[in-house]
A and B are shown apart, each in its own frame.
Chain A
Amino acid sequence: MPPRIRIRPRALRLRTSHSFSPINHTYASLATATTPAPPIDQTIRSAAPVLRYPANQPPSHKPPEVRKTQLHRQYQSLLRSSPLILLFQHNNLKAVEWMSIRRELAIALNKVDAEREKNGQELFANDIKLQVIQTGIFGSALRVVEFYNPEETLLDHAQHPTDPRTATSAQIPQTSNKPEDTRFKHGLSREAWEVASNKKLKHELEPLLSGPLAVLSFPSVSPEHLKSALSILAPSSDFPAPKRKTNPDLYEPAVQGGLQKLMLLGARVEGKVFDQDGVKWVGGIAGGIDGLRAQLVAALQGAGASLASTLEGASRSLYFTMESRRLDMEETEKGDKKE
């Protein structure tokens, strides 16, 4: 056990107060100011670049705090992230009707998901949303998504980490904090706005974008989910609505009254525009993408077999023609000899 040393705080305090003599005190105003020379490192190399704005909020053309701008950004990301979007016109639906339609849609999609879960396939019933959109802003966002395709990213202008002038390995675009900077490539940048406001560019979906609209967006082109969504929202002979016995909630007046006012106008499937019949065709693809692959394989196998037979057939027929020609020539030769 080490020896115990007693701490005597009182004694310590006495000693320190003794060393504290008034002679050492000086006034700040009397001190001669000496600025230390900057470290040699700073004089040789440039200072580390500083990003003048939050990395996920580059300066936008329109004021970023406005609802319009945020909706624009939201719709762009919706258009980019969902390959299958159905467009509906809604004519004065009541809140109760919206609520009950959404409920029925969610129930139907969850049923599809339950079946897919058994097969171990991807589930996305929770990501399929029916939402009312601001038509004009959606149209503008669509133009940006379709017509504005910047190739280079902002980081092409960044200082390379191996560049000796760079004091840090952080890659930061050398852009200013002004929306006028032409190096900004994001969807809300001034350049995107200029490209999208070109009146000469026309998009096929544009005639649809007028009046009150709602979109149903799917995170993936899944004909199964589309089929069940269509059977609820736009029932037809190809996609009949579930029977009253199996699904009595669907026949409540709130749901049916709402569905009468909801009109399917068209769809945007992987950048292509489809009308109602096109939507039905997409919904009618049996088995989804896997089913299509199976069909393709079968078609290719069939094509292989028929190709082999045609190639064989050509050689066979060639043989026949040559043979007949030989016989023919022999006959004529014989004939010549006879004459």
Chain B
Amino acid sequence: MITRFITDVRVKFNPFSPRSKPARIFLSLIPPSARAEGMKIESKILPRASKEPSTLALKFKDGKEMNLELDKMRIPEVMEQVNRHSRILARKEELSGN
């Protein structure tokens, strides 16, 4: 997963629901030095009884915001969605020659 262009991650999930798996795996895909390089990560763990769906809110460097309902997705789909936008940004960066 390309995480270079993500500036802000907000995850909310209930670990006791089997639907929270993509949210947790998404967090584990973020590289170890991401926080040190300025990515903001907020993860909220819901109590066990809550029925709230797990959500993921992302912000990219160009200001695009992405809200994903994680409980209907699997982790490859999530990665696909995130990478689609990250690749566009990567292409732009490459063309501008930075």
A89 touches B (CB below 8 Å): yes
B28 adjacent to A207 (CB under 8 Å): no
B28 adjacent to A266 (CB under 8 Å): no
Take A263-B43, A263-B45, A276-B45 as given contacts and tell me if A207 and B32 are in contact as well, using a CB distance cutoff of 8 Å.
no
Complex: how many Å from CA A136 to CA B4? 31
Chain A residues with CB below 8 A from B31, complex form: 92
Chain B residues with CB below 8 A from A260, complex form: 35, 41
Complex: how many Å from CA A276 to CA B67? 26
A266 adjacent to B32 (CB under 8 Å): no
B79 touches A (CB below 8 Å): no
- Please encode chain B, from 60 to 90, with 1 for each CB lying within 8 Å of some chain A CB and 0 for all others: 0000000000000000000000000000000
B51 touches A (CB below 8 Å): no
B57 touches A (CB below 8 Å): no
Chain A residues with CB below 8 A from B24, complex form: 89, 210-211
Chain B residues with CB below 8 A from A91, complex form: 27-28, 30
Complex: how many Å from CA A276 to CA B31? 26
CB < 8 Å neighbour of A211 from B17, B18, B25: B25
A257 adjacent to B35 (CB under 8 Å): yes
Complex: how many Å from CA A263 to CA B28? 11
B35 adjacent to A276 (CB under 8 Å): no
- Please encode chain A, from 97 to 122, with 1 for each CB lying within 8 Å of some chain B CB and 0 for all others: 00000000000000000000000000
A326 touches B (CB below 8 Å): no
- Please encode chain A, from 196 to 227, with 1 for each CB lying within 8 Å of some chain B CB and 0 for all others: 00000000100110111000000000000000
A92 adjacent to B15 (CB under 8 Å): no
Take A208-B16, A263-B45 as given contacts and tell me if A92 and B21 are in contact as well, using a CB distance cutoff of 8 Å.
no
Look across to chain B and name the residue whose beta carbon is closest to the beta carbon of A208: B15
* Segment 34-71 of B: residues with Cβ below 8 Å from A: 35-36, 41, 43, 45, 47-48
Complex: how many Å from CA A220 to CA B25? 31
Size category of the binding interface on chain B: 20 to 34
A207 adjacent to B27 (CB under 8 Å): no
Chain A residues with CB below 8 A from B32, complex form: 92-94, 261
What's the nearest-Cβ distance from chain A to residue B50, in Å? 10
What's the nearest-Cβ distance from chain A to residue B33, in Å? 8
Complex: how many Å from CA A277 to CA B48? 9
A211 adjacent to B21 (CB under 8 Å): yes
A89 adjacent to B20 (CB under 8 Å): no
CB < 8 Å neighbour of A207 from B18, B25, B30, B47: B18
A145 touches B (CB below 8 Å): no
Look across to chain A and name the residue whose beta carbon is closest to the beta carbon of B25: A211
CB < 8 Å neighbour of B15 from A94, A212, A266, A277: A266
* Segment 137-152 of A: residues with Cβ below 8 Å from B: none
Look across to chain A and name the residue whose beta carbon is closest to the beta carbon of B15: A265
Take A91-B27, A92-B31, A92-B32 as given contacts and tell me if A210 and B16 are in contact as well, using a CB distance cutoff of 8 Å.
no
* Segment 229-264 of A: residues with Cβ below 8 Å from B: 253, 257, 260-261, 263-264
Write 5 A-B pairs (CB below 8 A) sorted by A numbering: A210-B25, A212-B28, A260-B41, A263-B45, A276-B47
9 closest A-B pairs by CB? A275-B48, A92-B32, A265-B15, A207-B18, A211-B24, A91-B28, A91-B27, A210-B21, A94-B32
**Apart from A211-B21, A275-B16, A277-B48: 6 A-B pairs, beta carbons within 8 A:** A91-B27, A91-B30, A207-B15, A208-B16, A253-B36, A265-B45
